[in-house]
Chain A
Amino acid sequence: MRIALFGRTGQVATEVQRRAPDGVTVRAIGREEADFTDPDSVQRAAQQVEAHAVVNAAAYTAVDRAEAEERRQRY
């Protein structure tokens, strides 16, 4: 089984990659490959992996900074 994992360097994404069981290939996709502000780039990245499942672990999580920079928080 191949999983396209959006988010690569974050806390959750890192742990998902580390704990993937045998038989499960996790392909982590970082923001330089799939820009969440550009839906086409996300679709291309997921297609390249030919994934059976998509896990979205990409998010903007710093609440205090989100209050100052709402624009990025949306993606």
Chain B
Amino acid sequence: MKILVTGGAGFIGSAVVRQAVRAGHEVVNLDALTYAANLANVAQVSNAPGYAFEKADIADRQRIDEILARHRPDAILHLAAESHVDRSIDGPAAFVRTNIEGTYALLEAARAYWSAEKRPERFRFHHVSTDEVYGSLGPSGMFTEDTPYDPRSPYSATKAASDHLVRAWHETYGLPVLLSNCSNNYGPFHFPEKLIPVVILNALHGKPIPVYCAGENVRDWLYVEDHADALLTVLEAGEVGRSYNIGGENEARNIDLIRTICGLLDARRPGAAPHDRLIEFVEDRPGHDMRYAIDPSRIREELGWRPSVTLEEGLARTVDWYLENEDWWRPLLDVALERRGTSA
């Protein structure tokens, strides 16, 4: 299959690109190369036959039209998005533009291309979204695909809007779409503004590890390689018009997650142990969602997909990757140490 991946130089997108190329798919990696994108993330596969890169903005309709006509993909896997909640609090405009207007432009380009190709039955527009569109959970319960949308941050509101557009393009124009909503991802190549790489890098540098509030917030952690595998499964076997929740079956309180990472670092860098002495409780994120948890029944029962690694295994792999790939994260270090999301 020839897959056009948007946001293929980002964290999750690049994992999809690497796996898709290795699985024998042709891949067109379309990315605007904004701040969190990094072509080093796909360096392992960039010389592979069938791989192409296009620097383009999904909101640039003319460019997208031209790229679709030239590459003629069988599917679009749409991951390009602004994704950092703290940044969405400080500057929501970029989120409205890329996540909503960009998705709109991409949908229109996809519809025009699909019509020009005589509406091939096998074409797919797979929109990748987040479980944050469902809002925040209390101590119990889980998000299913039928949970009402209740986004609470500028980030999740723009993702919810884009999900609704994608469904509307299916219902109204018949575009063969798929949607998936994932829990929090982690793993290699994670841009060092998100919790797990911030914890690892700050701990390595003996800097304070910032924990919002008391670290009581619960997330369901999904190893990025598992997510990429799930996305390719949904793309190939998912039912048109259907949504699939993708979770890691790995719920953890942030504070427990952080202490686990500190323990992994203690074992690998005993000279600096105990790393958890660096934990510092800081003012909470405004509107911080308390808990996310995915009910993974649908993708497990309908598509036979389950995550392959436990949180402990995935964290160990992630910590080892950061220890072995200093040349990747060194240039990004200043970003990791900056606090965002306090302007509300």
Contacts and interface: CB of A to CB of B under 8 A. Distances in A.
Main secondary structure of the interface of A (DSSP, over half): helix
B244 to A, nearest CB: 26
Contacts, number: 8
Interface residues of B, number: 7
A67 B172 contact: yes
B172 A74 contact: no
On chain A, which size bracket covers the interface?
A: under 10
Nearest to A39: B93
A15 interface: no
A46 to B, nearest CB: 17
A50 interface: no
B145 interface: no
A70 B111 CA distance: 13
Contact of B104 (A39, A67, A70): A70
Interface string A56-75: 00000000000100100010
B65 interface: no
B101 interface: yes
Interface string A17-42: 00000000000000000000001000
A70 B93 CA distance: 20
Contacts of B108: 70
A39 B108 CA distance: 24
A46 B108 CA distance: 33
A41 to B, nearest CB: 15
Nearest to A63: B172
Contacts of A67: 172-173
Contacts of B93: 39
A67 B173 CA distance: 9
Nearest to A67: B172
Nearest to B161: A74
Q: Which of A67, A70, A74 has the most CB of B within 10 A?
A: A70
A67 B108 CA distance: 11
A74 B102 CA distance: 12
Contacts of A74: 100-101, 104
Contacts of B172: 67
B41 to A, nearest CB: 32
A67 B93 CA distance: 25
A35 B108 CA distance: 24
B204 to A, nearest CB: 42
Interface string B99-139: 01100100010000000000000000000000000000000
A67 B172 CA distance: 8
A42 to B, nearest CB: 13
A71 B93 CA distance: 18
B194 to A, nearest CB: 29
Nearest to B101: A74
A39 B97 CA distance: 13
Interface of A: 39, 67, 70, 74
Given A67-B173, A74-B101, 6 more contacts: A39-B93, A67-B172, A70-B104, A70-B108, A74-B100, A74-B104
Top 8 closest pairs, chain A to chain B, by CB: A67-B172, A74-B104, A70-B104, A70-B108, A74-B101, A74-B100, A39-B93, A67-B173
8 contacts: A39-B93, A67-B172, A67-B173, A70-B104, A70-B108, A74-B100, A74-B101, A74-B104
